[in-house]
Structure 1
Amino acid sequence: MSENNKFISWVKAHKTELIIAGVSATAIIGIILGLKNKDAIKELWDALENSLSKTPDKISEPVTIVQTAQPVLEEVTPVRLYTSPQGPFDVCQHIRNLSGGRHHSIEKAAEAAALGITLLPNQTLVDTYTKCAA
């Protein structure tokens, strides 16, 4: 039997004792911390009791319910803020992210460098073009 298996067997054989020791150690540490910080815990408890006692259980003033006429709703048709262009339009030169591990060409890298743009390996420079609306 290897040393690792011996340790695992020992832990399995003594798991109840290990659990009791762990819970006991945690409880002792909690008690020690509680005794050391008794004043702060008491102050916090008193503040909590004071904040709860200030909250009224019932509303002391009578509540009056006033019925008003229902407002008249009118149908409003939404206004579209964006409409598709009806004719062709120009798209300026821009950087595009490439998908699927694709890379830009050497020509595009040289063109971008001439413009002072540094392209990442998965980016390319798209030339200006005219787009027609569908």
Structure 2
Amino acid sequence: MAGKSPKPQVQHGSIPKVKRPGFSNGGGGGDTPEEGSDPCDIVIEADLESVRADVLATVRVGEALRVEIFEQGGIPSAVCRTADGSPVGSLSALEGLTQLMRCLRNGVIYMVTITELEAGRCHVRGTRVP
């Protein structure tokens, strides 16, 4: 299909992968930081999970969303919110999610941009804010 953006990298079935520059696969099954790299230099590219249909109807391709930690029942998640704070969906089944959450807790700010929208689906791509 011409004009469609490429699908996210997929590893282990349908789990989108967090691409992290400065990381290499050390043979142990996960990404390991290269010496001297910043573990918070994470590039996020994924379909959002638990997408809110009411909010999805109000957003557009190209819109920026802020990634924030949200805790419910003591369980933290990385939620993508619009400029007015409305939650669009969450980043959940991502390789590197633990590191992303650690960076968010340490005050690193991440923004993602909506790259694709379909009924019930929102694809985003982004990284930390300098």
Q: Shorter-chain-normalised TM-score: which range? A: under 0.3
Which structure has more relative contact order (CA 8 Å, sep 6+)? It is 2
**Higher fraction of strand:** 2
Query: Of the two, which has the highest radius of gyration?
Result: 1
TM-score normalised by length of structure 2? 0.21
TM-score normalised by length of structure 1? 0.20
